[in-house]
Structure 1
Amino acid sequence: MSAGDTVSFLLGMVGWVLTGVCLGHHQWKVSTLDGSVITTSTIYENLWMSCASDSTGVYNCRDFLSLFGLSDYVRASQALMIISIILGFFAAIITLFGLQCIQFGTSDPVAKARIASGGGALFIVAALTAMVPVSWYAFNITRQFYDVLYPGTKFELGPALYIGWAGGALQLIGGICLCLACKRATGATGEYAYKYRAPRSSLRPVSRNYPSEVDNSSNYGKNAYV
C-alpha cells in the first residue's frame, strides 16, 4: 500500500494547507452589490478583523475590539478552525511515521498500517472541525442576506469559504483513503495480509515404484532340489 498511503497523505497535507489559508484569508464575507447603484467602498470581514477598500484599491483593516462583543458563531468558528489546524498538524506527523516508504521507527508492516490509520482518523476529525465552522458561517451570511428585516450591511460568501470547503474535503478524502488502505493491509484478522506463491519449477518429482520383494523360491519346482 506504499503508493496509496503516500497519495492519501499528500491529499491530507494539501487540505491542511488550504485550511490554514482559509483561516488567514481576509474575505470570509464581502458586502453585496445587490441593490446598490453607486458603490464607493467594499467591506469584507474574516474571523479576526474587518476591512474596507475604496474604488482606487486602497484598503484599511482594523481588528475586532473585543472577543466577547462578537457573535457566538464567530467565536465558535475561531475555536474550531484553530483546533482543525492543530489536529491536521498532528495527523500529518503521525501519518508520516506510518508510511511504508519512511524507514524510521518500527519496520513492522502491521504497526505501520495501524499508525497510518490513526493519522487518517485524525485527518477526518480535522476535516470535520474545519467544515463545520465554514458551513455555519456561510449559513448565517445566507440567512441575513434573505432576511428583509435585517438592518445591517448584507454580505455574500467570500472566497475564503470555498477554500475552506476544498481544504476540508481533501482532508476528508485523504483520511478515508488512509483508513481503507490500512484496513485492507491488515486484513480482517488484524494480521498483515500478503499473498505467497511458491516458485514454479520445471522439474517434477519423479515417483519411483520399487518392486516388492518376491519369494523367489516359489519360482522353482520341487524337482530343482536334489
Structure 2
Amino acid sequence: MGLWKTCVIQEDVGRQCKDFDSFLALPAELRISRILMFLSNGLGFLGLLVSGFGLDCLRIVDRQQDLKKRLLILGGVLFWTSGVTALVPVSWVAYLTVQEFWDETIPEIVPRWEFGEALFTGWSAGFSLLLGGCLLYCAACSTPAPGASGHYAVAEMQDHCQQLEMKNTNPKV
C-alpha cells in the first residue's frame, strides 16, 4: 500500500494494482502524506528555478553578484526543505507498514503490507535533496561573492578586436 495506490502480488495472478477511490476516503495519515509530497515537489521545483538564476553561467543578473549569492542560498534552503518534506511522509508510511505487519490483532487471512520500490525511491530522493541543498548552501556561503565577470568578457573582446585590427592593417599576416 502506497500513497497513490494499493498493489497485491500473487504467485498465480501476478501484480494487480488499484487506485484509491477518493482522496477524502483515505486515512488521515495518507492524506497528510500526499499533501506533503505535493509540497515537496513544489519546493524542489521552486528551488531549482531560484538556484538556476544564481548560477554564474547565467547572465541575467550578472552585475549583482550579491543577489546571485542570495539566490543560491535560497535555492539550497528550498532543496533542503523539499528533502525534509519528502522524507517525512515516506518514513511515516514505512512506520505504519511495520506497525501493521507485526500487529497481532489482525487475523492471519488479512494480507500483510510490505515495503515497495517507491518507498526506497522516496528515501533516496529525500536524502539526495537534503545533500544537494546542503552542498548548494555551503558552496554559496563558503566563498566570498566574486566581482562581476562582465569586465573579463569585455577585456577579452577588446583583445580579440585589437588582433583583428592588426590583421587588417598588416595584410601579410
Does TM-score exceed 0.5, indicating one fold? yes
Aligned partner of residue 143 in structure 2, secondary structure: helix
Residue of structure 2 in register with 1:147 after alignment: 103
Q: CA deviation at 1:77?
A: 0.7
Residue of structure 1 in register with 2:84 after alignment: 128
Aligned partner of residue 18 in structure 2, secondary structure: strand
Q: CA deviation at 1:70?
A: 1.6
Higher helix share: 2
Distance 2:14 2:104 in 1: 31
CA deviation string 1:157-197 (max 9, x = no partner): 112111111111111111111111111224xxxxx378xxx
Please identify, of 132-141 and 148-157, the stretch whose mean Cα deviation from structure 2 is larger: 148-157
RMSD over equivalenced CA pairs, Å: 1.9
Choose the corresponding residue for 2:18, options 62, 65, 70. Answer: 62
Cα 1:171–1:139 change in 2 (3 A) is: same
TM, length-normalised to structure 2: 0.75
Q: CA deviation at 1:57?
A: 6.0
Query: Is 1:167 aligned with 2:121?
Result: no
Choose the corresponding residue for 1:119, options 70, 75, 78. Answer: 75
Residue of structure 1 in register with 2:30 after alignment: 74
Distance 1:137 1:64 in 2: 16
CA deviation string 1:81-140 (max 9, x = no partner): 011001100100111110112222343222211111100000011000000000000000
Cα 1:107–1:155 change in 2 (3 A) is: same
Choose the corresponding residue for 1:87, options 36, 39, 43. Answer: 43
Q: Is the 8 A contact 1:113 1:185 kept in 2?
A: no
Code of the residue aligned with 1:92 in structure 2: it is L
Distance 2:16 2:143 in 1: 54
Structure 1 spans left out of the alignment, 5+ residues: 1-44, 187-191, 195-226
Q: Percent identity?
A: 34
Aligned residue pair count: 145
Structure 2 spans left out of the alignment, 5+ residues: 148-173
Whichever of the two has the greater Rg, that structure is 1
Code of the residue aligned with 1:172 in structure 2: it is L
TM, length-normalised to structure 1: 0.59
Q: Whose RCO is larger (CA < 8 A, sep 6+)?
A: 1
